[in-house]
């Protein structure tokens, strides 16, 4: 059978939770900042992560968390429809016509690596992160990023709940928690937050996640 006659691969909805100090690379198609959502009490955060039913039930009892979940579901489904049907104005090819990207020539890869090395030598990279090895599969992928401060509580709970919503048939749904196993120092970029960091924003408590 000719390659052109093969059916397109199953599309992937990839939902990734992470800490705010290390953005996803490549950037997600949609991203949600859940730092402004009500934070679980310290006694819950100390004993549970966003994977645990106790913490997630607490989050689901807050209207701001549920409202953001509903909004995310609506926006993701809208983008899924656009990917399925295609959009000429935005250069989106319908899924039925999707083809894997052609391998980049070696000279182009080398040139990009050299440019990145030069940029790194000129100054500190604020993000300081290499590309994530999360979405390197050759198939249509819709990547959704969800972040909080440490990537252990609110963002994890949000990603889990979003992944359990009802999604179109034919899509694989995968939920990944990139920073769940990292230490506090790693997930907040090596510094401890204090109340001045959140002045007027409502993002952080004395002991945030």
Domain that holds residue 77: 23-101+142-209
**Domains identified in the chain, total number:** 1
The backbone region for 151, taken as left when phi is positive above 0, alpha when psi lies in -120 to 50, beta otherwise, is left
Residue 81 has pLDDT above 80, yes or no: yes
Confidence of residue 4 (pLDDT cuts 50, 70, 90): low
How many helices, marked H, and strands, marked E, lie in the chain?
Answer: 6, 4
The residues pairing with 15 across neighbouring beta strands, listed in sequence order, are 144, 175
**Residue 155 resides in a domain:** yes
pLDDT tens digits, one per residue of 130-147: 556 565 568 899 999 999
**Residue 125 resides in a domain:** no
Does the pTM surpass 0.85? The reply is: no
**Residue 182 resides in a domain:** yes
| pLDDT at residue 114, as a whole number | 75
Residue 124: partners with Cβ closer than 8 Å, 6 or more residues away: none
**Residue 160 resides in a domain:** yes
CB 76 within 8 A of CB 30: yes
Per-residue tokens: 136:
């390197």
pLDDT tens digits, one per residue of 149-158: 999 999 999 9
Q: DSSP letters along 137-176, please? A: SSS-EEEEEEEESSSSSHHHHHHHHHHTS---TT-EEEEE
Q: CA end-to-end span of the chain, whole Å?
A: 52
**Residue 157 resides in a domain:** yes
pLDDT tens digits, one per residue of 31-48: 999 999 988 999 999 999
**Residue 89 resides in a domain:** yes
**Residue 133 resides in a domain:** no
How many whole angstroms separate alpha carbon 144 and alpha carbon 75?
10
Residue 92 has pLDDT above 50, yes or no: yes
How many whole angstroms separate alpha carbon 77 and alpha carbon 30?
11
Q: How many Å is the Cα radius of gyration of the chain?
A: 19
**Residue 2 resides in a domain:** no
């Amino acid at each position: 059978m000719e390659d052109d006659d093969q059916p397109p691969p199953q599309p992937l909805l990839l939902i990734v939770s992470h800490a705010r100090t290390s953005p996803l690379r490549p950037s997600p198609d949609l991203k949600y900042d859940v730092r402004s959502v009500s934070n679980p009490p310290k006694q819950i955060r100390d004993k549970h992560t966003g994977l645990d039913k106790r913490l997630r039930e607490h989050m689901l009892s807050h209207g701001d968390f549920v409202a953001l979940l509903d909004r995310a579901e609506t926006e993701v489904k809208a983008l899924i429809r656009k990917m399925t049907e295609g959009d000429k104005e935005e250069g989106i090819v319908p899924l039925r016509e999707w083809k894997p990207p052609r391998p980049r020539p070696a000279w182009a890869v080398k040139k990009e690596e050299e440019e990145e090395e030069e940029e790194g030598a000129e100054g500190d990279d604020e993000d300081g992160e290499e590309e994530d090895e999360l979405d390197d599969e050759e198939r249509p992928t819709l990547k959704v990023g969800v972040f909080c401060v440490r990537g252990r509580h609110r963002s994890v709970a949000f990603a889990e709940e979003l992944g359990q919503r009802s999604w179109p048939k034919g899509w694989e749904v995968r939920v990944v928690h990139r920073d769940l196993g990292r230490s506090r120092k790693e997930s907040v970029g090596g510094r401890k937050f204090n109340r001045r960091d959140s002045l007027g924003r409502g993002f952080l408590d004395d002991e945030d996640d």
